[in-house]
Amino acid sequence: MKIVFISGLLTSGWDKKDRSYLENNIKNAEAYQIALINAGIGCFCPHAHTSFHREKGSKAPEKFYYKMGLEFLKRSADALLAMPGWEKSKGANLEVECALANNLKIFYPKSPADIDDIISWAKKPEHY
């Protein structure tokens, strides 16, 4: 099974008084996650993995989450899905750079419905 790492805007540009900004970004990422899973494609969504971690008691600095995401990307992903607006995100920029440095396939779908090229890529038989 190929694994796609979902990358995109989460906290960059966030006014900490506006919880709906985070909720919207998490919801957008989860829509890609669900679309991939419904297509039978494995994925990792850091947005869902760390949603509202501060409210749940996490005291780790933001730098820890960037590093952890990059480790998941390097160790377990075969490709990266860069959601629209990823360029505005510090973390997503680091993830795209990491994917390029590690020769991972990068997809730039326009919406969760725009994943046909990811499906075609993921469903190709692997030759050993």
Q: CATH number of the domain that 75 lies in?
A: 3.40.50.10400
Q: CA-based Rg of the chain, rounded to a whole angstrom?
A: 14
Domain assignment present for 87: yes
- Which residue in this structure is represented by tokens 């419904």? 38
Please report whether residue 32 resides in a domain. Answer: yes
Q: Identify the domain containing residue 96 by its residue range.
A: 3-123
The reply to whether 128 falls in a domain is: no
Asked if the structure places residue 78 within a domain, the reply is yes
Domain membership of residue 34 (yes or no) is yes
Q: Which pTM value belongs to this model?
A: 0.88
Q: What is the pLDDT of residues 1-35, one digit of tens each?
A: 999 999 998 766 666 677 787 888 899 999 999 99
Digit-coded pLDDT (tens) for 84-111: 999 999 899 999 999 999 999 999 999 9
Sign of the alpha-carbon torsion through 84, 32, 55, 59: negative
Q: Which residue has the tokens 């396939």?
A: 105
Q: How confident is the model at residue 117 (pLDDT cuts 50, 70, 90)?
A: very high
* Residue 33 lies inside a defined structural domain of this protein: yes
**How many structural domains are present in the chain?**
1
* Residue burial 114-125, b: 16+ Cβ < 10 Å; e: rest: ebeebeebbeee
Q: What distance in Å separates the CA atoms of residue 30 and residue 21, rounded to the nearest whole number?
A: 14
